[in-house]
Amino acid sequence: MALDTAPTKTSPAGPGERRRLVARPATWIAWGVFAFFFVNLAGVIGVPLVDSFGERWFTTWLPEGFTTHWYGDAWEEFELGQVFSVTLVVSVLVVGLSVLIGVPAAYALARREFPFKRLVMLLFLLPILVPPITYGIPLATVLYKFQLAGSTSGVVLANLVPSVPFVVLTMTPFIEQIDPKIEAAARMCGARTHAVFLRILGPLLLPGILAASVLVLVRTVGMFELTFLTAGPDSQTLVVALYYAAFSAGIRTQQSIDAMAVLYTLSMLVLLVIAMRFVNPAQLVTRSREDT
């Protein structure tokens, strides 16, 4: 009996296999880009972090020794206690005033129809879309003219310019999700305007207010341009004090500046972790819908 030695035909690769073969180079490229990004990020963060604990670091891979006294030196040399207190005061005032002004304005935009409403919304968008330096210089000129710049009040007023529109644009969708019939029912039961806002709308808008507050807090702590243009010697926030420590005249130890930079990075990281933990847009929208 003869054996069949004819070559067998292999079935061609299906569409799924072809897609996988084509996708493999793209996947490797994507992983390469991500790896390159994280390596650079680790270098940007790791070098100041290691240098802030190093004694001397010139030509070796690692410092010759490690110490923590640079943080104490930076705290005393740059008066970080006052800087942190100013940053806290400015941030709290900006967040509070932005919420007090922005929430009623967002309610008016969400519930009322009036001429040029789209134009008003566009005007609210401008301080967020336009780079702060473009309107920061004329704003600082006005504040200096009225002797408000150089103080904590001037820094707060300057930071309110982008913060209030940010609260308005954040809160308007939350208010639009609440059924107006709820407010009408409360008014029919005898509730006055302040009671409707405090007892009815307040609990429903709490997730949105929390989201706007945390995001404004992060934005204010990291705002450099407006604070730099309007701050004085006693009203500098942490980011402006870090700039002066690195670039102003005089001789300063690099390790102390790096220690200050690490403290600033840690403070921003804490704020971002809080924002990611408590301000999830998907969860906030879901909560608002469940409440309504």
Provide the pLDDT for residue 287.
43
42 and 104, same domain (yes or no): no
**Count of beta carbons in the 10 Å neighbourhood of residue 261:** 20
Q: How far is CA 229 from CA 5, 150, 224, 242, in A?
A: 86, 9, 8, 15
Q: What's the confidence (pLDDT) of residue 14? A: 52
**Predicted structure pTM score:** 0.78
Same domain, residue pair 59 and 134? no
In a domain, 212, yes or no: yes
Q: Are residues 49 and 177 in the same domain?
A: no
Residue 11, in any domain of the structure: no
Cα–Cα dist 229/226, whole Å: 5
Q: What is the pLDDT of residues 1-51, one digit of tens each?
A: 444 555 555 555 555 554 554 457 778 888 888 888 888 877 778 888 888
Instruction: Please say if the pLDDT value at position 251 is more than 80.
Output: no
Asked whether residue 1 is assigned to any structural domain, the reply reads no
What are φ and ψ of residue 6, in 5° steps? -65, 140
> What tens digit of pLDDT does each residue of 75-105 get?
998 899 999 999 999 999 999 999 999 999 9
Residue from 157, 147, 152, 160 nearest 86 by CA: 152
Are residues 57 and 28 located together in one domain of the fold?
A: yes
Report which residue type is found at 9: K
Lookup result for tokens 């004694």? 55
Query: Is the domain of 110 the same as that of 33?
Result: no
Binning the chain into helix, strand and coil, the percentages to the nearest 5 are 75, 0, 25
Q: Are residues 57 and 132 in the same domain?
A: no
Q: Which of 23-27, 52-56, 61-65, 93-97 has the lowest mean pLDDT?
A: 23-27
In this predicted structure, what is the pLDDT of residue 290? 45
Domain CATH for 107: 1.10.3720.10
pLDDT for 285 beyond 70: no
d(C-alpha 201, C-alpha 216), whole Å: 21
Residues constituting the chain: 292
Q: Which domain holds residue 61?
A: 24-67
Q: Tokens 């008014």 sit at which residue? A: 187
- Same structural domain, 96 and 188: yes
| pLDDT value, residue 164 | 94
Does residue 45 share a domain with residue 89? no
Q: Are residues 188 and 279 in the same domain?
A: yes
Q: How many domains does the chain have?
A: 2
Q: What is the pLDDT of residue 156?
A: 96
Burial 121-151 (b: 16+ CB within 10 A, else e): eeebeebeeeebeebbeebbeebeeeebbbb
**61 & 94 share domain:** no
Tell whether 256 and 154 lie within a shared domain: yes
